[in-house]
Amino acid sequence: MFAQGPVIKYTNAENVAKHPAYSHAVTFLNSGIAKTSITGSVLMPDIILPEKLKNEDIILQELRIEDAVEFYNCCRQLKVVYQYQEATYRPFESPLQFVSRMILIHEKLWTISLAEEPEVVIGTCSLHGYDLKASRIDIGGAVLPGHWDHLYSALDLALQSVRKSQGIKMVVAKTTVKNQIAIDMAEKLGFLLIYSGKREAIVRWVI
């Protein structure tokens, strides 16, 4: 599960847009300067992945700063499959601060929505921790309860886009050894279990 901080629910997206830091955050995030070595990873300079992916059931849309409220409130309820090293929540963090930080620490971060309800975020799928020398990246995913099948579809779409990128040769995912559902899903997607310790399990997908 995500680390739990104080539950703060925001319902008015206009409040985020009016936040004094909003315009500065948008300018900074859109400048390209923001995507540096926040987590030890670097921006993928020669690898371009789609802002939008979709199939008959779901839509993956690159997270935007204006989606802060919807994304933040969704993430408070998420069931994590692949955990991030970065603490998901920090005490008293606003939706704007949370989304800005999530964008900064991921090479690619998509929201997941149903094709029939594109305005409702049901989860997230991400790529992070890019290693240029190894041509490797980590993948993560999380969904609201009851949407495991949609998470499988989202991860599959993301992997298909990675395969077409011609710059990434290996994708790695991490979960807990007790999360057999996640391990089974990863193996169904073509990952191989390469490590299983006391707490962590690591799977690898090679293109």
pLDDT surpasses 90 at 192: yes
Of 10-24, 87-101, 109-123, the poorest mean pLDDT is in 10-24
Indicate yes or no: pTM above 0.85.
Answer: no
Of 7-16, 128-137, 146-155, the poorest mean pLDDT is in 7-16
Q: What is the pLDDT of residue 103?
A: 87
- By DSSP bridging, strand 52-54 and strand 58-62 are antiparallel
Residues ≥6 apart with Cβ < 8 Å to 132? 42, 44
- pLDDT range class, residue 111, cuts 50, 70, 90: very high
Domains located in the chain, CATH noted: 13-206 (3.40.630.30)
* Burial class of residue 11, CB neighbours in 10 A (0-12, 13-18, 19+): exposed
Q: What is the pLDDT of residue 5?
A: 26
